[in-house]
Amino acid sequence: MNNRVEQFKQLMQQNNINNFIITDPFNLIYLANFHGLAGDGCMVVSNQQPVLITDSRYEVEMQGKLPENVDLKITRDYYATAAQLLKDNDENVGVESSLNFKTYKRLSQLLPNRLVAKDGLIEKLRDHKDQEELSILTKSTKLVSEAYQDLLYYVQIGLTEKEVSLWLYNWMLNHGAQKPSFNTIVASGYRSALPHGDATDKKLGQGDLVTVDFGFYYDDYTSDMTRTFALGNPGSELKRAYQVVLDAQSKMINAMHDGVDGKRVDAAARDYITEQGFGKYFGHGSGHSIGLDIHETPILNPNCKDKIFENYVMTAEPGIYLPGKGGIRIEDDILVQKDGSKVLTTAPKQLIIL
């Protein structure tokens, strides 16, 4: 973690930024091992010793967790303290472009005409996972894979979508997960055609396709996996759509390697789905990076301008959604390697009919 701060300083120099005030909660975890809520502190990086600024609620905790090359200041006025640390120079001060307007206004008053918004500097560092991060992500993705395989023994006709979601929540926390990274999606029957159908009181029925999309944090790093299964025969049209999604995802994963254009990876799945006659039923992005946050850069879609590189962890999640009939999404977490890729999520993907 000490090395991360130094890497960020080098990135600042390359971008002609002499000072930086960091407020994003995930960036604070990444650089300072600080797990406060949004708005509970900030970090100042300059040519002096970097400083984490927070209040007394976190004082004892951070004394044992802070990287050796980061100092700690305890105060209730985070931003005035940050400005005070930078008062002896009149150079520019970088801030994250995600900074909320209220905080930006406050910092602008304290540091007039000095703020420069920079998009994604720390996030670019976060895209490349180090070996410690990859080890944790491997465990995180293994956990959701095991949960899904156990779920198949539990699920049955008559359960509600909410009951399935609650079962997954309890299983994950009982097996070491910290918390969900988003509301678990359980969408059955006609509702499976809703790409983001949160679980409801709808009961699972005979012949339903059931899409389950869930991700949980383990040791601060999240997973993100989707599987679709059937409760009885869903019919030939949905079976064919399922196979198209499965084949499209395989093509997409095979296209992943160090240095490839994200747009090309997206096209590997999207073009195939279109060729098979389902193009208008696939409207969302085909993948994204995961790590400390559930949606990290790059985002894979037809407009993607980024490349993906070795040690990125990406999702591959094409789908087909037939209104009023049902939908299919299959999502895995993929480690990009120099000459290919490795699928981290190991749950079965062939259509399972229970």
**Sorting pLDDT into bands at 50, 70 and 90, what band is 88?**
confident
CATH of the domain at 276: 3.90.230.10
Encoded tokens for 269: 């799945």
Q: Are residues 110 and 156 in the same domain?
A: no
In a domain, 351, yes or no: no
Spatial separation of the C-alpha atoms in residues 244 and 242, rounded to whole Å: 5
In a domain, 348, yes or no: no
**What pLDDT does residue 69 have?**
87
Query: Which of 126, 151, 171 marks a domain boundary?
Result: 126
Q: pTM of the full predicted structure?
A: 0.94
Find the mean pLDDT for residues 176-199: 97
**Is pLDDT above 80 for 2?**
no
Between the CA of residue 27 and those of 6, 77, 335, what are the distances in Å? 14, 20, 21
Find the mean pLDDT for residues 64-93: 93
Encoded tokens for 119: 């998009």
**What pLDDT does residue 75 have?**
97
**Sorting pLDDT into bands at 50, 70 and 90, what band is 352?**
very high
Q: Are residues 93 and 144 in the same domain?
A: no
Q: Note if the bond before 298 is cis, omega within 30 degrees.
A: yes
Query: Which of 77, 103, 126 marks a domain boundary?
Result: 126
Q: Are residues 57 and 170 in the same domain?
A: no
- Number of structural domains found in the chain: 2
Q: Are residues 116 and 148 in the same domain?
A: no
**What pLDDT does residue 294 have?**
98
In a domain, 148, yes or no: yes
Find the mean pLDDT for residues 39-66: 94
Query: Which of 126, 159, 176 marks a domain boundary?
Result: 126
Q: Are residues 270 and 134 in the same domain?
A: yes
Burial 218-246 (b: 16+ CB within 10 A, else e): bebbbbbbbbbbbbeebeeebbebbebbb
**Is pLDDT above 80 for 182?**
yes
Q: Are residues 154 and 239 in the same domain?
A: yes
Find the mean pLDDT for residues 56-83: 94
Residue 34's Cβ-count burial label (10 Å; 0-12, 13-18, 19+) is: buried
Find the mean pLDDT for residues 135-161: 98
Q: Are residues 186 and 212 in the same domain?
A: yes
Burial 164-201 (b: 16+ CB within 10 A, else e): bbebbbebbeeeebeebbeebbbbbbbbbbebebbbee
Q: Are residues 80 and 189 in the same domain?
A: no
Is residue 106 within a helix (H) or strand (E), and if so which, with residue range? helix 101-110
Percent of the chain with pLDDT over 70: 99
What range does the domain containing 78 cover? Answer: 2-126
CATH of the domain at 99: 3.40.350.10
Q: Are residues 203 and 283 in the same domain?
A: yes
